[in-house]
Amino acid sequence: MTALATSNTVAVVGTGTMGQGIAQVALVAGHRVRLYDTAAGRAGQAAEAIGGRLDRLVEKGRISADERDAARERLSPATALAELADAALVIEAILEQLPAKQELFTALEDIVAMDCLLATNTSSLSVTAVAGRLRHPGRCLGMHFFNPAPLLPLVEVVSGFATDESAATAAYETAVAWGKQPVRCTDTPGFVVNRIARPFYAEALRAYEERVADPATIDAVLRDGAGFKMGPFELTDLIGQDVNEAVTHSVWQAFFQDPKFTPSLAQRRLVESGLHGRKAGRGWFDYSEGARRPGPRTAEPCPAPGSVGLHAKLPGPAVVLRELIEEAGIKVTRDRTPGESEGFLRLPGGACLGLTNGYPATSDVHGKYIRFDLSLDYRAATRIALAASEAVSEADLAEAVGLFQAMGKQVSVIEDVPGMIVARTVAMIIDFAVDAAARGVASPQDIDTAMRLGVNYPGGPLEWAERLGAPWVWDLLDSMHHQNAGGRYAPSWALRRRADLEK
C-alpha cells in the first residue's frame, strides 16, 4: 500500500490538544477530516479552535486565505461514532487507558470498512494489547505523534505483533505525505523515544536524590555542558510531572520492573503534592508571577595555573582539552608519573585532574584526584562539572576551577559520585540505544533520527557511541555497576559485543 489519497477521509477520535493537532496536520495535507469526542459539544469546539489556528497560519503566510477556506470546508465535527463510517484512517487520541482504547476500536470495527486503518496515538501502552480484542488486528497499528503535532516532525509508526506489513507501510507513507519524518519500530514498551529517553530523566532524579547537586545545577550541567536544549527538571516541568511520571511508571511495569527503569520517589512525591510543573504554577521550579528562578551553583573566579602536566593521552572527546588549554595561553608539559596508564592532567599543586571513569574521585589510590564530567563537545561547552576527592585541598580545587575558567567555561563543583552527571546520563542513553538496535526495535538510523527529532537531542545516541567509543562507555557503566548493586547500571550484552569488536 502507498499513502492514503487526499480524497480519503481521516477521522480523529479525541479532541484534546493532541487530537486537534493531528486533525490539523491531516487537514492541511488536503484530507477531509471528521472529529469525534464522547463529550457533547467538544468536537464542535475543537473544530472552531482548529479554524482559529488556520487563521493564524494565514497571518504568518504559511497558507493562503483560499487554502484556509477550503480546509474549513473539509473539517466537520461528528455527533456519533457512526458518522466515521467512510473514514480510510481513524486515529485515536483519547485517554491513556487500555480498556477505553480497546472498547473504541472494537466499536469502530462494526462501523468502518474492512480496509480502514485503525491507529492509536498511545505513547506507552502496548499496540498489540490495544488490537488484541479486534477480529482483524492486522489493520491496527501505532501512529505516535509528538506534541505539538503540527510543529514537531517525528511520528513513530509502531507495528504490533499482529499488524500487517501493508498497514504499517501505508501509515508510514501517509505520514511522509503529511510532511512528517516517520520512523518504524516494533511494539516495545515506550517504543523508541520514551524507551531510550528514560535515563535523561531518571539519572537526573537519581543524582538529585543522592544530593549530587540541586535541580538548577543539574539542568545547567546537562544543558550548557552537554548541549541538551533543556535540562531534565525544566523539561519535566514543561511536559507535566504527572505525565512524565506516568510514562516512566508504565514503561517500568511493562519491562517487569526492570531496575534500569525504576521510577523516582522524589518525582512521585512531587506529583502527590500536586506540583505538576508549569501548568500547576509550580513543579521543580516556581512559575508564579514574580517568582525568581534559582541559578546553578557556579564557582567564583579563580586564577589559572601557569602550566599543567599531561600524562598520556586524555581519553575520548577530552583529547581536545590540550588544544583548548594551550589556546588559553597555559603551557602544557609532559608528565612522567610512573605506573600510570590513564591519561590525566597534573596540576601545579600535585593534584591529578582526569575525566570521570565511573569511579568516584575519592576511590582513586593516588589520593589527590579531581574528576571532570563528560562533554559531547568540550570546545562548544560553556560549563563543566568538577568533583574532588576528600584529599584535595581548596587550593588544588581552585587550580582546577581556574584552568577550566581560562578555557571560557563556567564551573559547577558537585558532590563526588560515580559517573558524575553528564557521563552517567549519556552512557545510559547510549546503552539503551545500542540494546534497542540489537533487539530490532528500530534501525540504528531510525533510532538516531527519533532521538534528535522527538526529544531534540544534540545528536543521535548511536552517533555518540561512535564518537566516544563503545569500550569507554562499557567501562564506565561496568565500573558503576560494580559499585551499585541491583542491576541499574549493568551494561547490556549488546554494548559488550560492540565494545569487544572495537578493541
d(CA 231, CA 159): 32
| Catalytic hit among 31, 124, 156, 244 | 156
- CB distance 323 to 284 below 8 Å: no
Active site residue 144: yes
DSSP string across 299-344 = PPP-PPPSEEEEESPPPGGGGGHHHHHHHTT-EEEE---TT--S-E
CA dist list (Å): 308 to 214, 348, 398, 399: 31, 6, 14, 10
| The residue type at 446 | D
Structural Rg of the chain based on CA atoms: 26
d(CA 317, CA 311): 16
| The residue type at 50 | I
d(CA 437, CA 313): 31
| Catalytic hit among 123, 250, 264, 412 | 123
- Residue located via cell numbers 510531572: 241
DSSP label of 262: P
d(CA 173, CA 3): 5
d(CA 254, CA 250): 6
Active site residue 481: no
Active site residue 156: yes
d(CA 20, CA 230): 26
Active site residue 194: yes
| Residue 283 grid coordinates | 513543579
d(CA 302, CA 294): 23
In angstroms, how far apart are the furthest CA atoms of the chain?
80
| Catalytic hit among 126, 194, 244, 375 | 194
Total Cβ atoms within 10 A of residue 67: 15
d(CA 173, CA 179): 10
Which are the contacts of 171, defined by CB distance < 8 A and separation ≥ 6? 89, 117, 119, 141, 143, 157, 182
Q: Which residues are catalytic?
A: 123, 144, 156, 194
